[in-house]
Amino acid sequence: MKLIIKALTLVFFTYLFTGCGAISIDKNLVKQYKKPIKINSNETLVYVIRESSFAGAARGLWVAHNNNVIGDIGSGEYTYFKVKKGINTINTVQAKTGLAYYAIDEVSKEPLFLKFSYTKGTVEKLPTDLGISYIANYKESKNLENKHPNDGYINGLVNLAMIENLEIMSETNTTLVPDENNAVITFIRPSSFASMLKYTIWSDNGIVGNLDTNTYFQIKVPTGKYHYYVKSQIIYALEANVSANKNYIIELDVNMGWTTAHVQLDPIDANNYNNPINNNGTLKHLVLNKNLPNNIQERIQLALPIIKEYTDKVASGDKKPEVLKSSFGK
């Protein structure tokens, strides 16, 4: 009897956290598939699928395209729509928080099947045959008759790191070293807490880099004063005063509020700090890619007016930033 109870418990928790069972490709269903609506040459047909899972099954999930929520899907359901050529972002929304962002900036002749995992808070693109097999086994959810604003839209504009399929950062083995004219600033997130949340760091002049959990990146700047920004519920500002021949550390701090994360850039005194970069081999060293493609450049341009609102407030004195002191360098 104990063995039976253990087996049933294992089945229950497998169901709870992984869903009702994996879907495999059914070639017969794939052959029968037909596009449900007419798609022009400048359009892409998009399916958003929510995997069947006991976890969160009682809660609906909004589906958004750019700044509008257009659908609501439950566990084991999907919806579909078409997007025109251009900058398109698909994301899910729950409790006014945007999750699982995906960019569709190029036209695709084949339908795109995006599967959302409730337990992981992530989205993945499925192979066409597998996507068709999913929707054949799942229930269609009709799109909303009346669209309403996407609460996660601005976050998706500013936090490009949240968009799963944008290649903005790469791994590197090159460690920057300060010199007689320049300081090195290391931006670090030495934690796996809230792993689905990723953030873009901005300066007055544009993008600085993206931070995921257990990652860091470095920049080299001349002696002077700089401002850096990161957004969660609000845009948080940090003023960095740096001197040449010094290393500085700015840590991304993430804390969960009632409905969403509170994020800030913490100025760290490197003279009294046990730097995890030197002691933890799991931290991934990233660098901002050079020659970012046109679609990413367009996305950066869309974000800059939002950042400029805060740069202007800092410049006018309306916004008081946190300060990284020059003496914090090591």
Q: What is the mean pLDDT of residues 178-203?
A: 91
Query: With bands split at pLDDT 50, 70 and 90, how would you rate the model's confidence at 15?
Result: very low
pLDDT on residue 1 = 43
Does 170 score more than 80 pLDDT?
yes
Longest dimension (CA), the chain: 74
Give every strand in the sheet of 215-222, ordered side by side.
Answer: 169-171, 284-288, 215-222, 182-189, 247-256, 261-268
pLDDT on residue 2 = 43
Of 16-25, 194-203, 302-311, least confident by mean pLDDT is 16-25
Query: With bands split at pLDDT 50, 70 and 90, how would you rate the model's confidence at 255?
Result: confident
User: Cα separations (Å) of 121 from 50, 86, 101, 147?
Assistant: 11, 26, 10, 23
C-beta of residue 82 within 8 angstroms of C-beta of residue 46: yes
Does 290 score more than 90 pLDDT?
yes
244: Cα within 13 Å, side-chain hemisphere: 6
Does 281 score more than 70 pLDDT?
no
- Give the right CATH number for 2-151 from 2.40.50, 1.10.3470, 2.60.120, 2.60.40: 2.60.40
Average pLDDT, the chain: 88
Query: With bands split at pLDDT 50, 70 and 90, how would you rate the model's confidence at 54?
Result: low
Query: With bands split at pLDDT 50, 70 and 90, how would you rate the model's confidence at 60?
Result: confident
Token representation of residue 154? 């601005």
Instruction: Please tell me which residue, 35 or 120, carries the higher pLDDT value.
Output: 35
Does 87 score more than 70 pLDDT?
yes
H or E element, residue 30: helix 27-32
What is the residue extent of each domain of the chain?
Answer: 2-151, 169-328
Does 52 score more than 90 pLDDT?
no
Rounded Cα–Cα distance for residues 267 and 248 (Å): 9
pLDDT on residue 259 = 59
Instruction: Please tell me which residue, 203 or 9, carries the higher pLDDT value.
Output: 203
Does 19 score more than 60 pLDDT?
no
User: Cα separations (Å) of 50 from 26, 60, 116, 152?
Assistant: 19, 10, 5, 18
Residues 120-138 pLDDT 10s:
888 999 999 999 999 999 9
pLDDT on residue 55 = 55
pLDDT on residue 23 = 84
Query: With bands split at pLDDT 50, 70 and 90, how would you rate the model's confidence at 18?
Result: very low
pLDDT on residue 94 = 84
Instruction: Please tell me which residue, 191 or 271, carries the higher pLDDT value.
Output: 271
Query: With bands split at pLDDT 50, 70 and 90, how would you rate the model's confidence at 21?
Result: low
pLDDT on residue 157 = 95
Q: What are phi and psi of 209, to 5 degrees?
A: 170, 170
